[in-house]
Amino acid sequence: MNALDSSHRETASLTDIATPFGMVRLVWQDENIVKVALGPYQPESILPVVLLGLPSHARGRRLVAAFLAYFRGEQVVFPCPLPESEGTEFQRTVWRALARIPYGTCQGYGELAGGLGMPSGSARAAGSACARNPLPVIYPCHRVVAATGALTGFGAGLAWKAALLELEGVPLDRARMQVTRMR
């Protein structure tokens, strides 16, 4: 799992969590999370567990506990601000909007854009911002789908996106990789 780019290597610490869908790596700078990396989709019947690097700071332990609860299927609110150095103002606006999409629901890219006051036809711009989200799951870009309900555009792959939506109780037609009910 290559979660470290050159901007995070020097002072970063890592937390690796085994989940029922594969590894999740949390990358920290000091006491702040700067990246969530989802490893290859490798489903297993396991309970989520920390394999490496439980943070020594309280903020980190709370966030890890929230991840463990989420991957046990519990609805959680992640106690985590966006990294200050990440994204343009537009991207940060989209990422904050992702946090307002309720657990267990989906929203279309166009609907997301419209909710931000963007002109019609701005779905691609919203999708592009989602693709650059440094904190997937925390800022749940997996809850954004095509207007038809089709699963599209998730950095870790559509299998991860489908698994996260199913974990949240979103009904899917796996054969078509499509949400069967948007809300």
Active-site annotation holder among 80, 106, 130, 141: 141
Beta bridge partners of 88: none
State the sign of the Cα–Cα–Cα–Cα dihedral 46, 178, 105, 64. Answer: positive
Q: Which helix (H) or strand (E) holds 127?
A: helix 123-131
Please calculate the CA angle 160-131-180 and round it to the nearest 5 degrees: 50
- For the chain, the residue count is 183
12-19 vs 22-29, strand pairing mode: antiparallel
Q: Which helix (H) or strand (E) holds 36?
A: strand 32-38
Distance, CA of 171 to CA of 69 (rounded, Å) = 21
**Annotation says 141 is catalytic:** yes
Distance, CA of 176 to CA of 180 (rounded, Å) = 10
Please calculate the CA angle 28-52-69 and round it to the nearest 5 degrees: 80
User: Would you please indicate which residues are annotated as catalytic (active-site) residues?
Assistant: 141
